[in-house]
Amino acid sequence: MPTIQLDRLVKRYGNVEVLHGINLDMDDNEFTVFVGPSGCGKSTTLRMIAGLEDVSDGEIYVDGKPVSHLEPKDRDLAMVFQDYALYPHMNVARNMSFALRLAKRPADEIDRKVRDVAEILGLTDYLHRRPGELSGGQRQRVAMGRAMVRDTGIFLLDEPLSNLDAKLRARMRTELAEMRARINKNFIYVTHDQVEAMTLGDRIVVMSGGHIQQQGSPEELFTNPVNQFVAGFIGSPAMNFLDGDLVEENGVLIVQGDGYSLPMPAESAARIGKVAGRRAVRLGMRPSSVFADPAVGAPIELEIVVAEYLGAQSVLVTRCGQTEVLVEVPSTARLQAGTSHRFGVRTEEIMIFDGQSGHRL
Ligand code: ADP
Ligand code: MG
């Protein structure tokens, strides 16, 4: 399997720079996910790797060799687009074998590859159907199969599930995760959906505004985000942010703001260091770090505005001063909207960000 390296990759459209020097090393046999809000440059990066867009500056290396001067067909890759189109008059087998027939591969080889890939994708029984006789999910799989039969080392996918409804999306996500365990290829997968990124990626690259904000394993990004953007983007329901100040009282570091005051555990205090006077910060607190039982951690009084029952869990929309705070609790906690409740915050899980730059302290 090839390794892929992006070296200070820049993209300009006319005078407008949309990618500002992307550096990335992708390992062998790795599933890399680019995730970020719409317009942050995910597709542009992918299309440059595929050779569908010129590189304005920097270089792309595959197995250590520069490839940006190569035609798409001379790069060892296959791509599945957001708006895949199948040939409506061809059956599944012919749709999947199209590129191989174009390349004039021997018939027995084509037949074998189509059967192998159909097996992996669960399409064996559908090879003679036309796209019109398939469900949305099956058509999606045919589009994937069409790329997979080409036997390339790198597999690029640009939001392949975005045209599916929520339920099918969730199923395809699971299928993809399962399928990927059986295929030894480099995947680069683009999505704006952080759940998709978290479930599929070995490595997640979080982008915003044409920059890489952070890259790492799903767990690294969740537990150790470098800034407020990543902290707010990864995790569902999203992290709560409250304006506040850091102050030191009798050697204890305290973060306090409108309606709350929480002592920082010694470990975080040591990392943040001495605070002279007050320092404006933003407190980051995940909905899962707040507990109905105040004894779990430091107490915080929250006014419950709405209780959304989701089955085993309930999401409480609460208010702390003027700020909305989401709290995730087991539904057995039976907390009522319209009441105030003393919750417990696991302070070792809260994060402090610089009030100006958003960098994590
Ligand atoms: P994403 O896939 O993350 O939603 P894109 O990579 O498609 O974002 O776009 C990144 C930025 O580049 C956007 O601001 C977009 O408007 C701009 N852009 C993309 N394609 C073109 C183009 N052909 N001409 C000018 N600007 C473009
Ligand atoms: Mg895109």
Which residue's CA is the closest to the ligand 1 atom numbered 23?
A: 13
Residue 351 identity (one-letter amino acid): M
H helix and E strand count, the chain? 9, 20
- Cα of 43 vs centre of ligand 2, distance in Å, is 4
107 C-beta neighbours (distance < 10 Å), count: 10
**Dmax of the chain from CA atoms?**
80
Quote the ligand 2 centre to 2 CA distance (angstroms). Answer: 24
- The structure's pTM equals 0.88
Is the distance from the beta carbon of residue 208 to the nearest atom of ligand 1 less than 6 Å?
Answer: no
CA dihedral 308, 309, 313, 314 (to 10 degrees): 30
Convert 183-218 to b/e letters by CB count within 10 Å (16 or more is b): eebbbbbbbbbbebbbebbebbbbbbebebbbbbeb
| 38 close to ligand 1 (CB < 6 Angstrom) | yes
CB atoms near residue 12 (< 10 Å): 13
Nearest ligand to the CA of 207 is 1
Of residues 76, 41, 72, 48, the one with CA closest to residue 62:
76
> Tens place of pLDDT for every residue, the chain, 361 residues?
578 999 999 999 999 999 999 999 988 778 999 999 999 999 999 999 999 999 999 999 998 999 999 988 888 888 887 667 899 999 999 999 998 998 899 999 999 999 998 988 889 999 999 999 998 888 888 988 888 888 788 889 999 887 777 877 887 788 788 777 777 778 899 999 999 999 899 999 999 999 999 999 999 999 999 999 999 999 999 999 999 999 998 889 999 999 999 999 888 888 888 877 888 999 999 999 999 999 999 999 999 999 999 899 999 999 999 999 999 999 988 888 999 999 999 999 999 999 999 999 9
Of 221, 169, 176, 184, give the one whose Cα is nearest residue 200.
176
52 CB within 6 A, ligand 1: no
Beta-carbon neighbours within 5 Å of ion ligand 2:
43
The structure tokens 């919750």 sit at 343
- 12, 13, 15, 156: residue to mutate for ligand 1 pocket, most atoms within 8 A of CB: 13
Cβ-based neighbour number of residue 53 at 10 Å:
17
- Of 80, 260, 269, whose CA–CA distance to 172 is shortest? 80
